[in-house]
Amino acid sequence: MDFFEAQDEARKKTKWLILWFILAVIGVVVAVDLLVIALVDEGNQIYIVITASVLTGGIMLAASGYKTTQLSAGGSVVAEDLGGRLVMPGSADFEEKRLLNIVSEMALASGMPVPQVYLLDHEEGINAFAAGTEPSNAVIGVTRGCLQRLSREELSGVIAHEFSHIINGDMRLNMRLMGLVFGLVVISIIGRGMVQLLRFQGGSSRRNNKEGGNVMLVLFLLGLGLLVIGGLGSFFGRLIQAAVSRQREFLADASSVQFTRNPDGIVGALKKIGGSEIGSKIKAPKAVEASHMFFSNGGMFNFFLMTHPPLDVRIRAVQKNWDGEFESSEIKPIAVDRETKNEDRKGPLDALPGAVVLGAVSGIGQGERRRISTGQQLHQGISQRWREAIHDREEAQAVIFGLLLNKDEKFLSKEVSFLEGEAGGEAKELALKWQAEARGLHSARKIALVEMALPTLRSLSPLEYERFRDITRWLIASDGQVELFEFMIQRVIERHLGSYFERKAFRNICYHQFDRLLPEANILVSTVSEIGAGCADDAEAAYLEATSDWKDRLDRKGVSSHDELDEALDKFSQASPLVKRQILVACVTAAARDGKLSSREAELLRTIADSIGCPLPPFPGEVVEDEI
């Protein structure tokens, strides 16, 4: 199953999830009605039953809506509810630094924004999770036990598993599931509250007023009934969680192996969970709500409510000749392993650029293109001084400003004056320093720097973000024209930081047929054809090859304005996964016609993919040998 099929499957499961939720709500409402009929006199039954139905359904829907709205703020809500602590970029702690490096490598290899990382300090079990509504607000959460008990390759296997949940659409599905299940649980919460409140008041009411005592008794029985009915609702909610989650875990395990090219990593982590007394247990009170998000069962061991397949089944799915023995997961002394030392890991490229691009069309969306080794090459090709810079709030902003400063002295002086007036003299000097250091830098490195700076930029205050956003917009537009790299940075900031700070929910799918987006597709393919062509004939040939299977081909448009590109990308971001695959295949086909991938073509393809919500891993030909 590739990225697009996995996303489409997750979307279909969301429809079934909503249907199951509606059926569960109806079942709870009917049960409450039967309870009311049993407790209320026949004279007023019909009106009370109708009122009870409306109230019960309304409360459940309102609770679900409230929880869903709360979760729309992103994965940080879940992480903090579980007692997680944000791991700051640039942490000096060895274990935290190793974790941050692995997450960065995975993100770079996936073509995704680097997520924030949370550490569950008080959890000794081996577990992890990915939470968020979109990659822009995704977080990776890891327990302290995970850091202390797993080797680097085992930790990489676990993190790759969680990344696959983000890439394959499971994370968003899990967040929706969490919101809907809360609506089923709320009746149980109300019933428990009524029982606890009336248990203490019932005795005094009966002594003082017999009639009042009878009312209190009825209310107490109603609360008790709601507690039981709510318990059934909770049971079915957890059952839905388990049913939705279990099968996706096999896909995530397989994706982890494909990502790391090392089955021993994830298998080793699973064996250590099985060989530990603590296992993967999560002690946080709200762990049950998020049980379907974890790497392994967080404490729900009832067979029907297990959100994950049994450990032995998962292990044998990856390692068929497993001998059935688990491994010890004792905490070992910290030892620096070779991959955390920022050593020179440069080596031969995975393939020649021409061969890579010619094979890219069939590889769109395939997990084969996602390799942690590619992310390691990109990550470790960035020197320590750059890493330290993007981990500092002021310097991270200055790095982006430096990448945007104009090379033409005619415009540079005006931009520098503006920057000094808006951000101060120190920001100006830092931006000029980074502009000089980044001169001649390959676009793959620039893209990696921007993606690695995102966790630090998310730590800005809302006012600081607004200032940063306004300055970048001004620098991009100051010379009256927008270069392709500037367009890419603007899209990254607006999509990933804008979504995070402004709580922008990405739109639902509106386009299920490619033909409905033919004019927008023509804009994108025409632009890609023109960018990589040496002459008009080459551009026309690339366009004709890319659009050969279109039902109704339009005339080639040429390079479009950035406003037209923005509008086309916005519409494709609302397309179904399979429609997105069609446009990406057409764009890559246009770029691949001459067997070469220029820096500008790579920038444009990555921008298109990111803008429509399809992470496109870097082409191995982009992973250059220079260190910055």
What's the token pair of residue 470? 């306004």
Q: How many residues does the structure list for the chain?
A: 628
> 168-186 burial by CB neighbour count: b if 16+ within 10 A, else e?
bbbbbbbbbbbbbbbbbbb
Residues 6+ apart with CB under 8 A from 596: 353, 354, 357, 532
Distances from the Cα of 368 to the Cα of 7, 145, 314, 363, 364, angstroms: 17, 31, 21, 7, 9
Residues 6+ apart with CB under 8 A from 363: 369
What is the residue-wise DSSP string for 445-499?
A: HHHHHHHHHHHHHTTS-HHHHHHHHHHHHHHHHTTS---HHHHHHHHHIIIIIHH
Nearest 10 degrees: Cα torsion 139, 145, 146, 151: 150
Check: CB of residue 157 under 8 Å from CB of residue 271. no
Nearest Cα neighbor of 311 from 241, 248, 249 is 249
C-alpha–C-alpha distance, residues 375 and 163, integer Å: 13
Nearest Cα neighbor of 332 from 148, 158, 155 is 148
**Residue 369 exposure: Cα atoms within 13 Å on the Cβ side:** 25
Residues 6+ apart with CB under 8 A from 225: 32, 35, 39, 191
Distance of CA 588 to the CA centre of its chain: 24
511 secondary structure, DSSP code:
B
How many Å from the N-terminal Cα to the C-terminal Cα in the chain?
Answer: 37
Residue appearing with tokens 């903090």: 80
What's the token pair of residue 43? 């004279």
Q: What is the 3-state secondary structure (H, E, C) of 23-81?
A: HHHHHHHHHHHHHHHHHCCHHHHHHHHHHHHHHHHHHHHHHHHHHHHHHCCCHHHHHHH
Question: Is 162 among the residues known to form the active site?
Answer: yes
Let me know how many helices (H) and strands (E) the chain has, helices first: 26, 4
Residue appearing with tokens 């392709």: 484
Q: What is the 3-state secondary structure (H, E, C) of 576-597?
A: CHHHHHHHHHHHHHHHHCCCCC
C-alpha–C-alpha distance, residues 170 and 13, integer Å: 10
C-alpha–C-alpha distance, residues 24 and 498, integer Å: 36
C-alpha–C-alpha distance, residues 486 and 465, integer Å: 18
Active-site position among 95, 154, 162, 622: 162
C-alpha–C-alpha distance, residues 106 and 102, integer Å: 6
Q: Which residues have a catalytic role annotated?
A: 162
